[in-house]
Chains A and B, each alone.
Chain A
């Protein structure tokens, strides 16, 4: 066991999968010699060579469409979009082909590829470098959408994504990349796609979050306990689509109250789907309206104001208090 950042844990997942399986190849802008702008692919080109770690031309649609071809031929491409804000060029390839080729060919072909994208705010970056638009992908039939929240689950989920027979869009919270370290076992560890995780038990209210906002959510839960004796249960979604609604609806049937937290814009965001599932599966247990603490329905502001935009622990605590006081 070594203590690692998320960047190191992702790097380990890639290296170990490449070691085990020569179908796994890595490609994208600056992923080779430079090791990726966030260093997630650092050193891979030295270990596995330029044929398996490809610095590609600067063209996101090209990277995605080329990866689809690799996957159709039987390889397992893991391609990187330098920032999720540039991935929309690739969206057409992902929506029109990656997501549909299994269906279109009636099972003859499939596209086992991973599209990795750093996403989210909090790193004082330029425009197009801070957004959180996972709902686009989650809304697309044929894709899976995964967002880890820490080093250990990032590693386990990336391994699962690489081995998944269907295309997976893998958003990496760049605010978490180097924010903290966790023990990550050297031996193989996978975490199933489509399953959420209970990260803190509690009886008073259920907090549901994922990705970068899991930390302020946990911080809020801790403060609620310390200051007010409120016991919040916290669930980390980990996979946005297919959404695991069993765990959180079971939790809400117990607590009767829920707050959903994400930095993506509120309207039509993942929280909207979570609330719908709660209405379908736990309606009679609800003691209060479900609150959403999310990004606002505007473009995330430039970095001087992003802390006011992003959900933080105080805002989450306020929502919990309102839910409890309802």
Chain B
């Protein structure tokens, strides 16, 4: 009995379309309308400005802890190919993808300012709320995708997670279930190199994260995650495959967390500034901007006016949020949506709180 190699399909590509100076690979360049390209650019910039503003609000003590997204705006490319009937299961660093899919900036502010009400998802919007336990939401996308297959819908469920998430058991169980059941799921790993203070090299010895797909016999591809065109192309391919009933895909977007993990940590403790520097040149927004300038879709003047416009949009959202908070949000809302019908013992507890609040307000009055 000789020992011989087993033929295992294990091709893992790396995909990149835009260079750091915004030069495009003509063969790979996707055909996107001017309107869509500009909307992608505008949303990236909107999310950058919103992120910056939230950091200021957090430092001023007006909102609580949140996870900044700076440098990861090219993730928008992953949701551009989706239809409203498709679903996303985001983690906590997918604000740009959520905003592209219709989440309002004021709802983001409400959540980070500590109000449950910020989690409200409008009817018809198939975005799951953000999942904070790392990697745990990936399975939900797989179940949703099974439902789509069961109902014979040509829809897709997309899960987002980070490099740290690929160390969790739920990640492996999700890819395994997806492979076994051949569901229309797309797994988007935002490999931003850091899980708080732990570098990517401590999560796995694997050369790529994309190769983990090989074990589950689903296609895996590594993408320049700061190149919105490459992200778009890779995901579009995966989405089309899913819609055609050809099963799931795993996409590793190589990006970088330019800012803190959350506003509660200080990266100086675990990474040197020199390490961050090369990533400034790879900034997803400036690259895309250079591309659009070269293409003649943007001018310096237009760049300035878009910036002004999105800055105003952030300010207006902030005003709406502040007004809502000022008008007062009823603390009794904490009991809402615990169950469809609150059981008797919780009704009693709700009355306890109501009476306490009424007594407090009558003492004040």
A interface residues, Cβ below 8 angstroms from B: 25, 51, 54, 56-57, 59, 61-62, 64-75, 77, 92-93, 96-97, 101-110, 141-142, 144, 165-166, 194, 242-243, 245
Contacts and interface: CB of A to CB of B under 8 A. Distances in A.
Contacts of B343: 194, 242
B140 A108 contact: no
Interface in B48-83: none
A243 B143 contact: no
Given A62-B174, A73-B147, A242-B344, A103 B338 contact: yes
User: Top 9 A-B pairs ranked by shortest CB distance?
Assistant: A69-B143, A65-B139, A73-B147, A62-B173, A242-B343, A106-B120, A108-B121, A69-B140, A66-B143
Given A92-B133, A106-B337, A242-B343, A66 B147 contact: no
Contact of B340 (A61, A105, A166): A166
A188 B346 CA distance: 30
Contacts of B176: 57, 59, 62
Contacts of B117: 106
Contacts of B137: 97
B73 to A, nearest CB: 25
A61 B169 CA distance: 8
B45 to A, nearest CB: 28
Nearest to A164: B340
B146 A66 contact: yes
A65 B345 contact: no
B339 interface: yes
Contact of B337 (A51, A56, A66, A102): A102
Chain B at the A interface: SS class: helix
B325 interface: no
B161 to A, nearest CB: 13
B147 A62 contact: no
B179 to A, nearest CB: 9
A267 B147 CA distance: 42
Contacts of A243: 345
Contacts of B138: 65
B143 A74 contact: no
B180 interface: yes
Given A73-B143, A106-B116, A242-B345, A59 B129 contact: no
Interface in B163-192: 169-170, 173-174, 176-177, 180-181
B173 A65 contact: yes
10 contacts: A62-B139, A65-B142, A65-B173, A69-B147, A72-B147, A93-B136, A101-B128, A102-B337, A105-B120, A106-B337
A72 B336 contact: no
Nearest to A22: B150
A92 B136 contact: yes
A68 B143 contact: yes
Contact of B120 (A59, A108, A141): A108
Contacts of A72: 128, 140, 143-144, 147
A65 B171 CA distance: 11
Contacts of B144: 69-70, 72-73
Given A67-B143, A74-B147, A103-B336, 11 more contacts: A57-B177, A65-B138, A66-B143, A70-B143, A72-B147, A73-B87, A73-B151, A106-B119, A108-B121, A109-B129, A165-B340
Contact of A69 (B145, B173, B337): B145
B139 A51 contact: no
A56 B178 CA distance: 11
A131 B55 CA distance: 49
Contacts of A66: 139, 142-143, 146, 174, 177
Interface residues of B, number: 45
A106 B176 CA distance: 31
Contact of A245 (B120, B147, B339, B345): B345
B141 interface: yes
A194 B131 CA distance: 30
B142 to A, nearest CB: 6
B148 interface: yes
B157 interface: yes
A110 B129 CA distance: 12
B123 interface: yes
A103 B170 CA distance: 22
Contacts of B140: 65, 68-69, 72, 97
Nearest to A273: B345
Give the one of B128, B140, B142 with max A CB within 10 A: B140
A239 B174 CA distance: 32
Contacts of B139: 61-62, 64-66, 68-69, 93
Contact of B148 (A73, A77, A96, A97): A73
Contacts of A74: 147
Given A65-B140, A101-B129, A102-B340, A75 B345 contact: no
Contact of A61 (B120, B170, B344): B170
B170 A62 contact: yes
B17 to A, nearest CB: 32
A56 B143 contact: no
A57 B339 CA distance: 31
Contacts of B120: 105-108
A165 B145 CA distance: 21
Contacts of A25: 150
Give the one of A61, A67, A108, A141 with max B CB within 10 A: A108
Contacts of A109: 121, 128-129
A199 to B, nearest CB: 22
B101 to A, nearest CB: 14
Interface in B219-241: none
Contacts of B122: 108
A69 B131 CA distance: 13
Contact of B177 (A62, A103, A107, A141): A62
Contacts of B174: 62, 65-66
A61 B87 CA distance: 21
Given A75-B147, A105-B129, A242-B344, A69 B142 contact: yes
Interface string B151-164: 10000010000000
